[in-house]
Amino acid sequence: HSGAFVGSGGDHKLLSSVVKLEKVAFDNLVRDENKKVSEELVDHALVSPLNFHKGIDHVTNEVDFGPYRLTLQKLEANRTNLSEISHQYCDIIERQLSVPGLPSSNRLGLTHQVMTWELIRVLFSEREQKCQIESLGADNEEDMMQDIKEVDQDVDQEALPLMRRAEFSYWLRESVSYHVQNQISSLDDSHYLQHVFTLLTGRQLDEAVQLAVSKGDVRLACLLSQAGGSTLNRSDVAKQLDIWRNKGLDFNFIEEDRLRLYELLAGNIHDALHDIQIDWRRFLGLLMWYKLPPDTSLPAAFETYKHCLDEGTAPYPVPLFIDEGTSEEVASWKADKHFDISFYLMLLHASEETEFSFLRAMFSA
């Protein structure tokens, strides 16, 4: 109940009410793989979230309505304590994932929930005035994550976008690690350059450099160690490729997979992805890590991906249950129907509170 007065021009006041009824199927949430109700799942999936929600601060407002007095409750939360709320929900979901006999479809959905709550925290929570980044010049955003430390100083406002970008980069790297490892497991030792490329799609630079060194490819390892850093390095690689083309170099003497790596290091991600399909999160990562300047804001990165999507040059942001689901689910999903809720959250962050027409689609994703 919104508790807002409408039609209050005279003595008679009306309270606004909007009631929307929906059927929600949550019975399967508390059943194990044998279709039996699990008391553990009942507690973790239903009781614990409800108790946690009730434990969050609420404000009470009493409203006189004719001869009646209504007591209205409103949740009191802000972006400062959003981080703690997100962590609590993730903890509840993790306990569900630890229940033995959990169906694989439920496990996939719960994993998606954890990723979504983590993304909400990264994009929308605000820090208390206790943090600062000690080395903003770090090329590696994962190193920057280690430099975000609790200190008794006010946050440099100019550092906040860099801190959020570093946290999002870490979230993105973690969310695609399954795809990276799954793809690597299908490669054999003779395709080590493909192995290196796959590691780069997940921003696993240390592993890629170590692999190149172990194969004696020291020059490539040096280039990989600078991947996604200074735009000057990318420009140098791009100029070298242009020189080879202008000089009529026969590229048949260079492995195709090595050229693919050079294109990626040059920031030419579409050329690097020629004849290769990757999921939408890794494509977004390639835009952020290798194409756009390292100080590009998150809204600008999200808008760049959306522009590529509108032009048909980026993979659809399909939901996780489609991306990793069964062939039947893939066949039944329509590209113009609903996208991953993570994509809508990114649009919400990029909208800067000016455009919310996509919210209806987000809430039904």
Q: What is the 3-state secondary structure (H, E, C) of 100-116?
A: CCCCHHHHHHHHHHHHH
Return the pLDDT at 305. 96
213 within domain boundaries:
yes
78 within domain boundaries:
yes
The full DSSP string for 199-236 is: HHHTT-HHHHHHHHHHTT-HHHHHHHHTTTS-HHHHHH
Asked whether residue 187 falls in the same domain as residue 282, the answer is yes
CA angle 187, 171, 78 (to 5 degrees): 165
273 within domain boundaries:
yes
Contact criterion met (CB below 8 Å) for 329 and 322: yes
Asked whether residue 307 falls in the same domain as residue 179, the answer is yes
156: left (phi over 0), alpha (psi -120 to 50) or beta: beta
Asked whether residue 168 falls in the same domain as residue 226, the answer is yes
Asked whether residue 116 falls in the same domain as residue 203, the answer is no
Contact criterion met (CB below 8 Å) for 153 and 132: yes
- Spatial distance between the Cα atoms of 291 and 34, rounded to a whole number of angstroms: 48
Asked whether residue 165 falls in the same domain as residue 306, the answer is yes
Asked whether residue 206 falls in the same domain as residue 289, the answer is yes
| Count: domains in the chain | 2
Asked whether residue 93 falls in the same domain as residue 177, the answer is no
24 within domain boundaries:
no
136 within domain boundaries:
no
Return the pLDDT at 131. 45
In terms of DSSP H, where are the helices of 278-337?
280-286, 298-311, 320-323, 327-332
Task: Say what the alpha-carbon torsion angle 19, 25, 30, 34 is, to the nearest 10 degrees.
Answer: 170
Return the pLDDT at 28. 76
Of 145, 183, 186, the residue nearest 162 (C-alpha): 145
Asked whether residue 206 falls in the same domain as residue 271, the answer is yes
Of 60, 116, 55, 61, the residue nearest 81 (C-alpha): 55
CA angle 110, 171, 309 (to 5 degrees): 90
Q: Mean pLDDT per 10-residue run, the chain (365 residues)?
A: 51 62 73 86 89 85 79 79 91 92 86 93 77 45 51 63 92 93 87 94 95 94 91 92 86 87 94 92 96 93 95 90 62 65 91 60 54
Return the pLDDT at 104. 84
| Domain hosting residue 206, numbered range | 160-315
Asked whether residue 165 falls in the same domain as residue 116, the answer is no
Return the pLDDT at 251. 76
254 within domain boundaries:
yes
Contact criterion met (CB below 8 Å) for 205 and 180: no
- Spatial distance between the Cα atoms of 131 and 135, rounded to a whole number of angstroms: 13
Of 290, 166, 313, the residue nearest 235 (C-alpha): 290
- Spatial distance between the Cα atoms of 29 and 44, rounded to a whole number of angstroms: 10
CB proximity list for 351: less than 8 A, separation 6 or greater: none
Asked whether residue 44 falls in the same domain as residue 96, the answer is yes
Asked whether residue 86 falls in the same domain as residue 230, the answer is no
Return the pLDDT at 12. 57
217 within domain boundaries:
yes
Contact criterion met (CB below 8 Å) for 87 and 121: yes
Asked whether residue 110 falls in the same domain as residue 173, the answer is no
